[in-house]
Amino acid sequence: MSIDFQTIPIATFLQQEHQTADWVVIDLRDPMAFAAAHLPDALCIAAESFDVSLLPPGLHWALMGTQEAAKAWLHAQEAAKLPAATAWLQGDIWDWQQAGGQISLCITIASDELAMDLPHDERILLLDVRPEKAFDEGHVRDAISLPLASLIDPGSMALLEEDCNIYIYGTGAAEALLAASLIKRQGYHNLRALEEGWEVIRSQPGIPVEKSAGHLN
């Protein structure tokens, strides 16, 4: 598979703002770096094996990260049909800011913070973005199953209430932050992503867990 892509200086990408609506920024940096600062509406994608079917359809890809990371990620998409335009953004988040671009962030919390929040916040809505089978085998009590694959469907957002404090967890931080970035594109911003995955969360004192009906034995 060809891994050729155009190179766009990040300041130029900002200047062509009238064109950026046709692009989805795929941020390949470390998930915690993404959480601290990223381009608005960017998606947090750390894994080379990421399923590109989760990406919003009909958009071009602008890859943010090192050029080596961009090439490796594209290599991993051998079976995917690449969009008509794929670009690598030359520069980093600070170049974007210096050019006058706005940045966004994602709040992340540790599982012990979730344990402290649960008894005191009646507006918490817990989202488990792991596959449904994993959810059935065990999840945080009262959590809603919303697998990653469902998040490209705007209809899945009907389960979310805008006045809720949405806490998102998965198998790890990368999955939770990808889910958060997909949900943010739908206009939800009161989000918190768990820094740890299910295996840590399930063992955290103060976080009640349960199985779905039919998986109680």
Domain ranges, ordered by start, for the chain: 6-98, 107-210
Residue 2 pLDDT: 56
Band (pLDDT 50/70/90 cuts) for residue 19 is: low
Determine how many CB atoms are found less than 10 A away from the CB of residue 64.
27
Distance CA 83, CA 208 (A): 44
Residue 48 pLDDT: 64
Which tens digit of pLDDT belongs to each residue from 83-100?
A: 777 899 999 999 999 999
Look at residue 173 and tell me whether its pLDDT is greater than 60.
yes
Region 194-210: mean pLDDT is 95
Q: Among 33, 35, 36, 14, which Cα is nearest to 23's?
A: 14
Q: Rounded to the nearest 10 degrees, how much is the dihedral formed by the CA atoms of 170, 76, 104, 162?
A: -40
Name the helix (H) or strand (E) containing 43: strand 43-44
Band (pLDDT 50/70/90 cuts) for residue 215 is: low
| Torsion angles phi and psi, residue 160, rounded to 5 | -100, 135
Which tens digit of pLDDT belongs to each residue from 175-184?
A: 999 999 999 9
In CATH terms, are 6-98 and 107-210 the same topology? yes
Residue 217 pLDDT: 54
**Which has the higher per-residue pLDDT, 188 or 81?**
188
Region 53-74: mean pLDDT is 87
Q: Average pLDDT, whole number, for the chain?
A: 88
Region 132-154: mean pLDDT is 90
Report residue 19 as tokens: 């064109």
Torsion sign (Cα): 22, 27, 31, 34:
negative
Q: What is the DSSP string of 75-116?
A: HTTTTS---S-EEEEES-HHHHHHTT---B--EEE-HHHHHH
- 107-210 adopts what CATH topology? Oxidized Rhodanese; domain 1 (3.40.250)
Determine how many CB atoms are found less than 10 A away from the CB of residue 137.
13
CATH number of 6-98: 3.40.250.10
